[in-house]
Structure 1
């Protein structure tokens, strides 16, 4: 563990990103995107369809199977003015995302509100048609304003509709704000991964947008194992770091779900390399280690059990580094499996605020597939933690060679010098 990342200045993690280099639309073919391979410091220009030939032998790829919900609601005031409501997280009657999406009749969510200055009081209205042709109406009323967000009471007719169906039928995909446009029918397909399963994200795990069913089949045929975790990506992924130093930047909380089967798969796979598909998969995997450490050291307050859920803070890995020195990844995974057995469940439900920045020591992940991220972002900090100062060489090469950036942009395969080729391990 190096110097504490609390002291990092975000201004040290910037680069010039011309607007024309931000991809505004997806390519017609998902696998046609370019792939910049960084292997032990050597850069190679490929295409994403070449991925199976570039992976380390015996690698396991871990995907985030969250599905983006249509969380952007465009309602109207009685006078006709538009108000945008961006649903962030459920508040009542359920805080559990799964239960909140199944809620019927009414609910309360924390939302971002756009164009809300003239929305003084009373409800705003959204009329829409359900998938089976029913006419439906949603009313939204602002309850309270809190730190840039608002608590919004929703009610709707027909009241028998679950809120998930209200969003599906009446909402829009929350595209990244830097795209500056509403979603299109193309986005409805392309801003989801082909393996998306668990509804709940308000942003796509964009590293996975390059995969097709055919490419996934090819990976399996070539002997690469795959696994899935769930991290419901929050709007905080778009939040710029405004603080001068990271100590003053609060990380957002995101729910994660990981099956006991995936934990056992990770245990059986070690010590062969594990590659995260996207920063969200990486943060989930690394969170597993620290949640296991918290269970093994139950006196630590940063990983507390509450109604079966484990939580961790953004600084836990750095504050517990010395205490965790003797705890292997295998020990942490075993502790999580024992926790699931003791609580009688086969799915770990937890939340994480993990911030991965230079100074972080990786415990479960050996490499990363990821897009090119915004300057001065926590995602760029994560890349810098994995690659060290080489991240600048990587990004300079991508800029010089015409790579497309951000959510709909090109991809990279990052294999730092610490990765081991375990082709001889069976």
Structure 2
């Protein structure tokens, strides 16, 4: 499909700079029924049914943005994919300042050797720390890798360290937040439990590639960055049992949805999964594992807007985004969200 089909105009003032407070007070455009309804996130338990299964991403964002030098030249890097023990692929700015075999130095005790350079400003860095020591150094010297449309002078501030982390965050590895999870609070989770909605988490370590623009003219020419994910046998079995009993699988965010679809067979059965996925979902894709999706409002021409257009229907999502813009919904990572039902479910009723 032509990428231009997924373009739209978004006024700058519609981009959220900070999350709603409390988080579950964010607005939620409900397209889970045969219409469009303006709600707020804390109404979610009223919409879901006992026996539904809510699947969230428990990845934890690491402070993956580093400011350092190569000699006297200032360089900024954002880690986005772990390649091995202490080795990460990163986006460097300006990448031309880094050369293979030289050292990117944060300070006298934290540095990395440049192992390789790739297209698009990517470099491979081998740090002088690994494992828990590397995470500790990132926590000390790094900043939260906020997307470029959130305006901060030097990356995330102290508040962003908590704001840009979901309530589900447990497993270090993401360099971008699974932002639909930012809307949940302990009170909302308690109300979902009281409603009889089951909850489980899976892991997809979100990469910075999620913010990269689609630079090709046709979706068939776009290459997705791979991300590592894991679904246990226990959770796969519960997903299959839920659907067999008539319950719905509700994915919290496109990251959860992409991992679930990566693990699903053609017949819809979800299998245990522990691997990388580079699944790219565009209109025409037949969804196998997910019935509903809670997701934020995404960038024009992005792979995520293509995904939601595939999930809920292209015309339906165009109308929803027009409604959201006209009614002053807040967009992107810190913004409001939509609750979508798979188009095939809606079409089956009409």
Question: How does the TM-score come out when normalised to structure 2?
Answer: 0.91
Deviation at 1:41, TM superposition (A): 3.4
CA distances 1:77-121 after superposition (whole Å, capped 9, x unpaired): 443x42111112233xx2xxxxx3xxxxxx332211113444568
Aligned residue-pair number: 339
Question: 1:312-351 alignment to 2 at 5 Å?
Answer: 324=266, 328-329=267-268, 332-333=269-270, 336=271, 348-351=273-276
Deviation at 1:122, TM superposition (A): 4.1
CA distances 1:271-306 after superposition (whole Å, capped 9, x unpaired): 31111000011111111114xxxxxxxxxxxxxxxx
Residue among 236, 241, 251 paired with 1:268: 241
Residue among 203, 219, 235 paired with 2:192: 219
- 1:310 is matched with none
Do the aligned partners of residues 180 and 114 (structure 1) sit closer, same or farther apart at CA in structure 2, a change above 3 Å counting?
Answer: farther
1: CA distance, partners of 2:305 / 2:65: 26
Does the CA contact (< 8 Å) of 2:213 and 2:302 recur in 1?
yes
Does the CA contact (< 8 Å) of 1:41 and 1:416 recur in 2?
no
- 1:367 is matched with 292
- 1:342 is matched with none
Do the aligned partners of residues 116 and 383 (structure 1) sit closer, same or farther apart at CA in structure 2, a change above 3 Å counting?
Answer: closer
Does the CA contact (< 8 Å) of 1:59 and 1:272 recur in 2?
yes
SS at match of 1:15: coil
Does the CA contact (< 8 Å) of 1:282 and 1:368 recur in 2?
yes
Looking at CA atoms only, which structure, 1 or 2, has the larger radius of gyration? 1
Do the aligned partners of residues 385 and 154 (structure 1) sit closer, same or farther apart at CA in structure 2, a change above 3 Å counting?
Answer: same
Question: 1:17-416 alignment to 2 at 5 Å?
Answer: 17-79=10-72, 81-91=73-83, 94=84, 100=85, 107-119=86-98, 122-127=102-107, 137-148=109-120, 149-155=122-128, 162-181=133-152, 182-270=155-243, 271-290=246-265, 324=266, 328-329=267-268, 332-333=269-270, 336=271, 348-388=273-313, 389-416=315-342
1: CA distance, partners of 2:247 / 2:87: 45
Question: How does the TM-score come out when normalised to structure 1?
Answer: 0.75
| Gap regions ≥5 residues in structure 2 | none
CA distances 1:204-242 after superposition (whole Å, capped 9, x unpaired): 000000001111111001100111110111111001111
2: CA distance, partners of 1:390 / 1:398: 12
2: CA distance, partners of 1:400 / 1:112: 35
Deviation at 1:200, TM superposition (A): 0.5
1: CA distance, partners of 2:291 / 2:88: 37
